[in-house]
Amino acid sequence: MIDAVVFDMDGVIVDSEQVWDDVREQLAKKRGGRWHDGAQAAMMGMSSPEWSAYMHEEIGLSASPEEINAEVVERMLDRYRERLPLIDGAAEAVRRLAPEFRLGVASSSNRPLIEAVLERAGIADLFDAVVSSEEVARGKPAPDVYLEALRRLDSQSDAAAAIEDSSNGIRAAHAAGMRVIALPNAHYPPAPDALALADVVVASPDELTPELVRG
């Protein structure tokens, strides 16, 4: 019996992957980095210490990972203040599931970004646990962020479902032993081998009902 549902945020609640891509690419080009077409895909699911180290070491920014992280987060917050790219039906899906399950967020975003999105979307008070991968040892595809969310929700892996959009996110939730509901990202679709790990695939948040979650 499923008693908890854990949402990814980027690509599930907010359509932000291309915003991340644009912000990091602009910063890399401004600072003389070696941006390449595979950079965004490489960083999807990484925790903030991981992607900021990647931008320092692989993209070649001279600033420290901590400085890179801080500037990217501030630029992302500025974008969200201008316009929150909320995915159609996402907030309604959260509200639809909240009466039936304990809800959590397990996101690769930094905590200030998670809190800004949930507050601006008007759904922050519906979540019982919010975990950023910067708070655990490893980012996705490792299961750490999901396992920590389950610990805070007092739920077991076999009694919880995850809603994910990306290859690394799907792999992380599967590795955690959860029921995996895939909502593929239109801009960065998951690889076929990752998508095959999902228990069910949906095309829209409108399909996220208690009945589908329970399977």
Percent of the chain with pLDDT over 90: 92
Q: Do 105 and 197 fall within a single domain?
A: yes
pLDDT at position 62: 95
- Of the two residues 42 and 183, the one the predictor is more confident about is 183
pLDDT, tens digit (0-9, with 9 covering 90-100), for 135-144? 999 999 999 9
Q: Do 136 and 190 fall within a single domain?
A: yes
Q: What's the rounded mean pLDDT across residues 44-70?
A: 93
pLDDT at position 187: 83
The order of strands in the sheet holding 160-164 is 129-132, 102-107, 4-7, 160-164, 179-182, 200-201
Q: What is the CATH number of the domain that holds 125?
A: 3.40.50.1000
pLDDT, tens digit (0-9, with 9 covering 90-100), for 153-192? 999 999 999 999 999 999 999 999 999 999 998 888 999 9
Instruction: Tell me the pLDDT of the chain averaged across its residues.
Output: 95
The structure's pTM equals 0.92
Q: What's the rounded mean pLDDT across residues 121-143?
A: 96
Q: What's the rounded mean pLDDT across residues 114-143?
A: 96
Alpha-carbon distances of 62 from 29, 82, 172, 181, 203, rounded to whole Å: 12, 29, 31, 40, 41
Q: What's the rounded mean pLDDT across residues 121-141?
A: 96
How many distinct structural domains can be found in the chain? 2
Domain boundary among 27, 57, 82: 82
Q: pLDDT band for 147, please (50, 70, 90 cuts).
A: very high
Domain boundary among 82, 104, 123: 82
Q: Do 200 and 135 fall within a single domain?
A: yes
Q: Do 91 and 31 fall within a single domain?
A: no
Q: Do 109 and 202 fall within a single domain?
A: yes
Residue type, 122: G
pLDDT at position 86: 97
> For the chain, how big is the Rg over CA atoms in Å?
16
In our burial notation (b when 16+ CB lie closer than 10 A, e otherwise), range 15-34 reads bbbebbbebbbebbeeeebe
Q: Do 96 and 183 fall within a single domain?
A: yes
Q: What's the rounded mean pLDDT across residues 126-131?
A: 98
Position 47 pLDDT exceeds 90: no
Position 44 pLDDT exceeds 90: no
pLDDT at position 17: 84
Burial environment of residue 193 by CB neighbours within 10 A (0 to 12, 13 to 18, 19 or more):
exposed
Q: Do 129 and 201 fall within a single domain?
A: yes
Q: What's the rounded mean pLDDT across residues 115-133?
A: 97
Q: Do 111 and 150 fall within a single domain?
A: yes
Q: Do 91 and 10 fall within a single domain?
A: yes
Token pair 């990814």 in the structure block, residue: 8
Alpha-carbon distances of 103 from 40, 75, 95, 196, rounded to whole Å: 28, 28, 10, 25
- Cα dihedral sign, 131-121-115-77: positive
Note down the domain range covering 11.
Answer: 4-15+85-214
**Longest pairwise C-alpha distance within the chain:** 52
The separation between the first and the last C-alpha atoms of the chain, rounded to the nearest angstrom, is: 9
Sequence-distant (6+) residues with CB within 8 A of 210 are 96, 97, 100, 101
Q: Do 132 and 76 fall within a single domain?
A: no
pLDDT at position 119: 97
Q: What is the CATH number of the domain that holds 40?
A: 1.10.150
